[in-house]
Amino acid sequence: MNLLDCPDQAIIQTIQVNILAHFWTIKAFLPDMIERNSGHIVTVSSAAGVIGLNKLTEYCASKFACVGLDESLRFELGMLQKHGVHMTLACPYYTDTGMFEGAQTRFPSILPVLDTEFVAEKIVQAILCNQEVLYVPRILYFIVALKGILPAKCWSLVLQFTGSGICHHNSFVNSVFLFLSGYLSISVCLFVCLSIYFSYFVNIYLSIYLSIYLSIYLSILLC
């Protein structure tokens, strides 16, 4: 629901469950971990903790906070030279916990709604391997990387294209790929054409630079 329609108590409960519970649990066990220089902290965030979604403001805010908690505490432990205390940040896609009941994906063979036992197994494997960041499914690594690469205006268009937060007919990630496939196709075509054109007037390095810049800019306008 929209932020203004969300009851205050629901916001408080979301923050308490999704982020404050991490703080209180960590503060209870971390002193002994630091003393022994041994232990493992698992922070359960979400794909919505790295990608903001429409009509999920309080949920995304709480999950983004988990990412910040993990990153800051990891740095803090490193400065204390407590390298025996490991941390894992888990960011799964839609999981069949009841919250996303009815959610569907356009390509379930590639991006299914995840089973809770499957996600739990992946987290356990990440703990055993001392993996610092876990995205489930793996395709989320690509999505997060693209968010960091794409211009802010383009990413805003992606978010607008995905519609209203939890989509019960088209998943967020699928919608992103539908948009990006068109965007990247246009960018590649423009890049090739501009590279050929500029190569007649400037050196190869400047030609590539101008082609990349203009292809991204024109692709945004065309999309």
Q: Catalytic residues, which ones? A: 59
Q: Which amino acid is at 21?
A: A
Which amino acid is it at 150?
L
Neighbours of 194 (CB within 10 A): 19
Q: How far apart are the first and last CA of the chain?
A: 28
**CA separation (Å) from 118 to 114, 123, 201?**
7, 9, 56
Query: By the 8 A CB rule, do 171 and 94 touch?
Result: yes
Contact between residue 157 and residue 223 where contact means Cβ atoms under 8 Å apart: yes
Task: Compute the distance between CA of residue 68 and CA of residue 34 in angstroms, rounded to an integer.
Answer: 20
